[in-house]
Structure 1
Amino acid sequence: MQNDTRTHGLWEQSAPPAPVTPALIGDVSADVVVVGGGYTGLSTALHLAEAGVDVVLLEAVEIGFGGSGRNVGLVNAGMWVQPEDLLATLGPIYGERLLDLLGNAPQYVFDLVARLGIDCEASHAGTLHCAVGRAGLVEITERERQWRRRGAPVELLDAREAEAKVGSTAYAGALLDRRAGTIQPLAYARGLAHAAITAGARIHTGSPVIAADRRRTQWEVRTERGRVTADRIVVATDAYSQGPWAAVRDEQVHLPYFNFATPPLAPEVLRTILPEHQGCWDTKQVLSSFRLDRAGRLVFGSVGALRLTGMAVHRAWAERAARKVFPQLGRVAFESAWYGLIGMTKDNLPRLHRPADDVICFSGYNGRGIAPGTVFGRTIARHLTGQIGAYEMPLPITATETPTFGRPMELAYELGAQLVHTIDARL
């Protein structure tokens, strides 16, 4: 996208084409205007259009330009926060609602992919949270206990069982979550866009919102070359928010995350790595993730930005780390590299905001955007069509907050990741 191979890498190379979505020119009207062409915005537009609502979606750049087109592609259940901690933060009413919604969210994603016929390499084989050392094993054991108490189909694997699933002796165990799986994330976003347009939504890319003003009972949303008059606004820009809703970005701390992808692995090597094609991440503080794509490429990633000195540092680390986890790879080579930004909130939980009358916003996915973004979009559509009231939403309505030392923390994350990766995984 925008002739920069470091933004979407492999996903841009292997995704089916995006639909034709011209920039907004001139004045239009709609029942609802959705701002943002990621999972939340596209899901909202799709479900509203299917319900017969006249909806216009405005995207500043291209479909899936933000986190929706750059992430690892793990379709996870729940959030990073463990269930009991989430309940302690949100309380029993909202906590139970959110846990139930997000626990079932991956199944909804895979059902939606099947219903719409989206070609996005969907694999409902589960995910593996891999334990590094004794401390990691303690962590996943506690996660398994908490999810099992809620009836979730999770299974704690010992070191031998983890080795069989992963194809590596690097881990003390793993937590298999059968609710989860993987997709090609940009292909999924583009598929949602195609489906939304088919259902009747109007999507305009290259149309950043520069202003939004209340005119009596309606909103006037302006872009550089057009204007939408609508009754309601859905803000779905999350960590990439700017313009009138920059406060949504400002309440999050940006955590950079990169991925490298190998060429398709040789058949004899591929048979020994992730034979069931689960997606994986580990328990390190500066975590690593890895998975296979449909063509047999290994996608290997971690915290960090591929800019300035970061590209050389993180590439060298990825080569060492991938070979350490999978010695059978031999010399590691990568054919693509990309990175994006994860928006982190202070309690690692998402937010529901109403910045103004008839404006609604879910944000703060903390690296878990695929399944939550999809079901939050459906939830917004249900709310705007009167199926559920404000008191039935999965999160309480809160005001945006600005974290203390947010931008310095972002710099610390970026430089800290380079420091860790300079010394980590030395053979």
Structure 2
Amino acid sequence: MTAPATLWHATAPALPPFPAARGEIDADLLIVGGGFAGLSTALHAAEAGLRVVLCEAEAVAWGASGRNAGFVVPNFAKVDPETVIARLGPDAGGRLVAMAAGSADLVFGLIRRHGIACDAVQAGWIQPAHSDTALARAQSRARQWAGLGRPAELLDAAAVAALTGVAGWRGGWIDRSGGTLNPVAYARGLAQAAEMAGARLHDGTPITSLVAKGAHWLARSRHATIRAARVVLATNAYAGGLVPGLARSFFPLRVFQIATGPLPLAVRQRLLPGGQCVSDSRRNLFTFRFDAENRLITGGMHVFGPGAAARVPRVIHARMARMLGVDLPPLAYGWSGMAAVMPGFLPRLLTPAPGLIAGFACNGRGIAMTTAMGRELAAWAQGTPAGALAIPATPPAPLPLHGLMRHAPNALLLVSMIRDRLESPADLPR
């Protein structure tokens, strides 16, 4: 096993590997996957007194949980509260909206309660508007989230420029409960907290088969057999073939991230002086934030797969320099990971069989949403019916034309870039 070459793995406090599972093991709950969702489930279930076993094929935060940008964003990527409630109804929709609204506070609360050293900064998340149409959406979003008692405010162009250090956006909005952290350090802290609560964690333990036996499940790895009353699959886009058809229930999306070397102090004091993070309103999303050592971090996607690992980091480094209007230090880190996306852009729980549940598709809101998802999955493990959870739960259903449509987000990126350029004002870098 080779650790991913991300900024976060290079700078997070070390965590000795957990031992691989061996022998015959009995559990109330087996969790497959050592990312945010699995670790949050393990922590909350163990604190409730369940016998919890978590098996990770590689190491804690090896997958998407260690490969993101470290944004903690308490809302949905493409959908607003009124739309969620219209789709799901006032009860189910209200539960999901409330979960999302409190998700960042949950993350930072866990960090404080367990003393997790992960460079956490709860200074807020900003979404600048790149066009007048986007500004109208920002006005609606800020109103809806503020109406739920959240610290959401509309920002005019001058306020966005002052907060970001970048002029030209038409305005935007901020949720002051959002923030940033080192995701690998956060995941490792959750793992330590779960272990202290009584959960058994195992690295290097891929589950190779999962079979129902009466009222229990039997899971096998290379050197262990685990018997559990309930099983949570917390693999997100790294679903594999453990449960047939599950990987065709969402679209996998490869996202690239980069980090520069540390910026000069004068530039750092101008950009994001309050320590917030930014995700703008473009279809070809532009993001940026700083880490604790004043490195700038941004991300992006690719149109063409061949050569993307070498090409895309350079492209998004150049884009950030152009957008921010600064001479950037050289590229210091570049990495990528797989996210899971649902066509409706809402998280989803899938129930392939009794006693088996999977959580997928946080659609770019991974840290906050999967931490909150873990708390819901722990409630399910304690007996709460799947239909009463905050996240909709349905049997898995393969998406139509999945083999073709899974490439649609990348194929449409070029169209999105053209539309963004046509909409963006001339005084905002493009």
TM-score by length of 2: 0.92
2:263 aligned with 1:269:
no
The equivalent of 2:29 in structure 1 is 32
Q: CA deviation at 1:216?
A: 2.2
Tell me how far apart the structure 2 counterparts of residues 396 and 169 of structure 1 sit (CA, whole Å). 40
| 1:71-150 matched pairs, under 5 angstroms | 71-80=68-77, 81-150=79-148
Q: Alpha carbons of 1:236 and 1:62: their partners in 2 closer, same or farther (altered >3 Å)?
A: same
Farther off after superposition, 72-81 or 103-112: 72-81
Distance in 2 separating the partners of 1:225 and 1:256: 32
Give the root-mean-square deviation of aligned CA atoms.
Answer: 2.3
Contact map agreement 2:283 2:417 (CA 8 A) in 1? no
Q: 1:335 to 1:417 in 2, by over 3 A?
A: farther
**Secondary structure of residue in 2 paired with 1:355:** strand
Amino acid at match of 1:15: A
Q: Matched residues in 1 for 2:344 and 2:121: separation? A: 30
**Per-residue Cα deviation, 1:150-197 (whole angstroms, up to 9, x for no partner):** 232211111111010001114111211112111111111111111111
Identity of aligned residues (%): 35
Q: 1:19–1:190: 8 Å Cα contact kept in structure 2? A: no
Matches of 2:289 and 2:414, distance apart in 1: 22
In terms of mean alpha carbon deviation, does 148-157 or 226-235 score higher?
Answer: 148-157
Structure 1 residue aligned with 2:425: none
2:406 equivalent among 410, 413, 418: 410
TM-fit CA distance, 1:419: 8.2
Structure 1 residue 307: deviation in Å? 6.1
Q: Does 1:376 align with 2:373?
A: yes
Distance 2:410 2:171 in 1: 29
Q: Structure 1 counterpart of 2:160, which letter?
A: A
Unaligned runs of 5+ in 1: none
CA contact 1:263–1:335 (8 Å) conserved in 2? yes
2:327 pairs, out of 330, 344, 355, with 330
Instruction: Give, as a single letter, the amino acid of the residue that structure 1 aligns with 2:409.
Output: Y
Q: 1:279 to 1:398 in 2, by over 3 A?
A: same
Instruction: Give yes or no for contact 1:260–1:336 (8 Å, CA) kept in 2.
Output: yes
The 5 A counterparts of 1:274-313 are: 274-304=272-302, 308-313=306-311
- Cα offset for 1:312? 4.5
Q: Is the 8 A contact 1:306 1:339 kept in 2?
A: no
C-alpha displacement of 1:133: 2.1
Which residue is 2:208 aligned to? 210
Quote the Cα distance in structure 2 between the aligned partners of 1:246 and 1:108. 33
Letter in 1 for 2:208: I
In structure 2, which of residues 13, 21, 27 is the aligned counterpart of residue 16 of structure 1? 13
Aligned partner of 1:366: which letter?
N
Alignment of 1:118-267 (within 5 A): 118-267=116-265
When structure 1 is superposed on structure 2, of 84-93 and 371-380 the one drifting more is 371-380
8 A contact 2:127–2:174 mirrored in 1: yes
The residue matched to 1:93 in structure 2 has which SS?
helix
Q: 20-29 or 274-283, which moves further after superposition? A: 20-29
Q: Deviations over 1:235-257 (max 9, x none)?
A: 11121112322533221111221
Q: Is the 8 A contact 1:131 1:171 kept in 2?
A: yes
| Cα distance change on mapping 1:331 and 1:50 into 2, 3 Å | closer
Alignment partner of 2:141: what SS? helix
Structure 2 counterpart of 1:116, which letter? H
- Given that 1:147 and 1:154 are in contact with CA atoms closer than 8 Å, whether structure 2 keeps it comes out as yes
Which residue number corresponds to residue 63 of structure 2? 66
Number of residue-to-residue matches in the alignment: 422
CA offsets per residue over residues 53-83 of structure 1, 9 Å max, x none?
A: 1111011111112211111111111212111
1:344-373 CA deviation, whole Å, 9 max, x = no partner?
112111112221121122222111121221
Aligned residue number for residue 393 of structure 1: 389
Residue aligned with 1:243, SS: coil
Gaps spanning 5+ residues in structure 2: where?
422-427
Letter in 1 for 2:99: L
8 Å Cα contact 2:58/2:205 also seen in 1: yes
SS where residue 13 of structure 1 aligns? helix
Query: Are residues 115 and 123 of structure 1, via their aligned partners in 2, closer, same or farther at CA, if it must alter by over 3 Å?
Result: same
String of CA shifts for 1:362-385, please: whole Å, max 9, x gaps. 222111121221122122223322
Determine the C-alpha separation between the residues in 1 that align with 2:38 and 2:317.
Answer: 36
